Amino acid sequence: MDLQISKGWKIGTACLAILALVSIGAAHSAAPKTGKERVVKVVAKRFIYTPNEIILKAGVPARLEFTSLDFVHGFKVPDLDIRVDLPPGKVTTVHLTPQKAGVYDFLCDNFCGVGHEEMSGKIIVKD
């Protein structure tokens, strides 16, 4: 099967702050229509996400497209109950619709080497 939906529509734990759907292979995904989505491409490599600050707007759907260059990094946003593996060689897509302004930390939660502890970032949701 081409599509692996590892996380269905997800209601975040932080006050229903976000809706998210994670898929691998966006072309085949049952994701929402992409026309209104804000697309953010993120590169993950040891030991940094680029960009490591992702600015989104509350209520506006977004699609995060991750490409990992060197490791099965993780992408975890604890306060939004989002986590996914980022295997190299494919695009991993996270669809989300942040509902509430705020700053949400994310991190790599797959130990990837000596700089693993530094591999983190923030999703900044603005009104």
Partner 1 sequence: MINRRDFMKLSAVGGGAVFLSGLSQITQAAAAYDDFYFVQLSDSHWGYQGPANPEANNTLRKAVETVNGLELQPDFIMFTGDLTHTTDDPKERRKRLTEFRDIVSDLKVKNVHFIPGEHDASLDNGAAFKEFFGETHYSFDHKGVHFVTLDNVSDPGASIGEAQLAWLAADLAKQARDARIVVFTHRPLFDLVPKWDWATRDGAKVVQILMEYPNVTVFYGHIHQENHHMTGHIAHHSAKSLVFPLPAPGSQDKRTPLPWNPAAPFSGLGFREVEAEDKPFQLKITEFPVTRA
Q: Which residues bind partner 1 (CB under 8 A)?
A: 72, 74, 76, 78-79, 85, 105, 107, 109-114, 116-118, 120
At closest approach, how far in Å is the CB of 120 from partner 1?
A: 7
State the nearest-atom distance from the C-beta of 22 to partner 1, in Å: 15
Q: Looking at beta carbons only, is 9 or 111 nearer to partner 1?
A: 111
Residue with smaller CB distance to partner 1, 57 or 76: 76
Question: Is residue 113 within a helix (H) or strand (E), and if so which, with residue range?
Answer: none
* Whole-number Å distance between alpha carbons of 26 and 41: 13
* Minimum distance of partner 1 from residue 56's CB (angstroms): 18
Rounded least distance, CB 37 to partner 1, Å: 26
Residue with smaller CB distance to partner 1, 51 or 113: 113
Which of 11/117 has CB closer to partner 1? 117
Q: How far apart are CA 64 and CA 45, in angstroms?
A: 16
Strands, E assignment, 2-107: 4-11, 18-24, 38-45, 48-50, 53-57, 62-68, 73-77, 82-86, 91-98, 102-107
Q: Residues near 111 by Cβ (< 8 Å), separated by ≥ 6? A: none
Residue 91, Cβ neighbours under 10 Å: how many?
A: 15
